[in-house]
C-alpha cells in the first residue's frame, strides 16, 4: 500500500508540473528555494481545490499540510487523505486545538506546515478573513511564516504563477492581549498574501483589499 501511495504522489506531482508548468518566483532575500532551510509555517490564498496539490508539489520535501477534517472524512477523498502521512486534519466548524499539537510536532521533526488561513476557497477574487490559527502556531513555536501568492489559474496553456516572499517571525508583544495581537498579525499577513497574489496575476499595482471586517461576503452563485 505504501508503494502505491508513493507512486500516486509522484504521478500527481509530475502531472502538475507538466500540465500547469508552475513558475515559482522568490521575491525576498531569506527564501530562495522551495527546499526551506528552516521548518516554517507556509500560508497562501485559496482560490481552487488544486491549490493544496500545487503547494505540496512545489514544497515537496519535508512538509505537512492542514486539511479540513470534513474533507478527510469525505468518502471521495478519505482513501487517499487517510493514507498520506503529511495530512493534518482540522475541524473547521468547532473549536479544535488538536491539529495545532500535531502541527507543532511536525515542525519539531523538521517539517514545514502548509496552511490556508481562509479555511475555504473564495472564487470572486477577494480574500476571506485569515483565521488566527497559523499565527498562534508560528508564535508559540517560533517558526517563521512564509507567505505565498497563487494566481489560482489552472488551465492548459496557462503557466501557473507562484510568488514566494521572505520568512517572518511573529514575536510576542508585551502589554498587548494575545487575541488582539494574533488578529493584527493575521490581518497583516492577509494583506501581504493579497499583494503577492496580485503580483502572481501580473497586476502592476495591487488594488486595496478592505480589512477582513469590511470585506463583503462572497455572493454564492
pLDDT of residue 93: 82
Q: How far is Cα 154 from Cα 51, in angstroms, rounded to an integer?
A: 9
What does pTM read for this prediction?
Answer: 0.95
Q: Give the residue ranges of the chain where pLDDT is below 70.
A: 1, 221
In this predicted model, what pLDDT tens digit does every residue of 164-186 receive, in sequence order?
A: 999 999 998 888 889 999 999 99
pLDDT of residue 84: 83
The closest alpha carbon to 167, from 64, 22, 37, belongs to: 37
pLDDT of residue 26: 98
Q: What residues contact 136, with CB distance under 8 A and at least 6 apart?
A: 100, 182
pLDDT of residue 221: 64
Cβ proximity of 68 and 119 under 8 Å = yes
Amino acid at each position: 500500500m505504501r508503494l502505491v501511495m508513493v507512486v500516486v504522489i509522484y504521478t500527481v506531482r509530475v502531472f502538475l508540473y507538466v500540465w500547469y508548468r508552475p513558475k515559482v518566483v522568490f521575491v525576498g532575500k531569506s527564501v530562495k528555494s522551495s527546499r526551506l532551510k528552516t521548518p516554517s509555517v507556509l500560508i497562501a490564498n485559496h482560490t481552487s481545490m488544486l491549490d493544496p496539490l500545487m503547494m505540496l508539489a512545489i514544497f515537496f520535501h519535508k512538509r505537512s499540510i492542514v486539511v479540513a477534517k470534513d474533507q478527510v472524512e469525505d468518502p471521495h477523498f478519505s482513501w487517499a487523505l487517510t493514507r498520506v502521512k503529511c495530512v493534518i486534519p482540522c475541524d473547521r466548524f468547532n473549536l479544535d486545538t488538536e491539529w495545532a499539537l500535531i502541527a507543532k510536532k511536525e515542525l519539531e521533526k523538521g517539517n514545514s506546515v502548509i496552511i490556508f488561513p481562509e479555511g475555504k476557497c473564495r472564487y470572486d477574487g477577494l480574500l476571506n478573513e485569515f483565521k488566527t490559527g497559523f499565527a498562534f502556531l508560528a508564535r508559540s513555536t517560533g517558526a517563521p511564516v512564509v507567505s505565498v501568492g497563487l494566481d489560482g489559474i489552472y488551465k492548459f496553456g496557462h503557466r501557473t504563477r507562484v510568488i514566494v516572499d521572505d520568512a517572518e517571525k511573529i514575536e510576542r508583544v508585551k502589554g498587548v492581549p494575545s487575541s488582539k495581537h494574533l488578529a493584527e498579525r493575521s490581518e497583516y499577513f492577509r494583506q501581504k498574501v493579497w499583494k503577492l497574489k496580485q503580483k502572481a496575476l501580473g497586476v502592476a499595482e495591487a488594488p486595496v483589499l478592505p480589512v477582513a471586517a469590511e470585506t463583503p461576503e462572497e455572493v454564492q452563485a
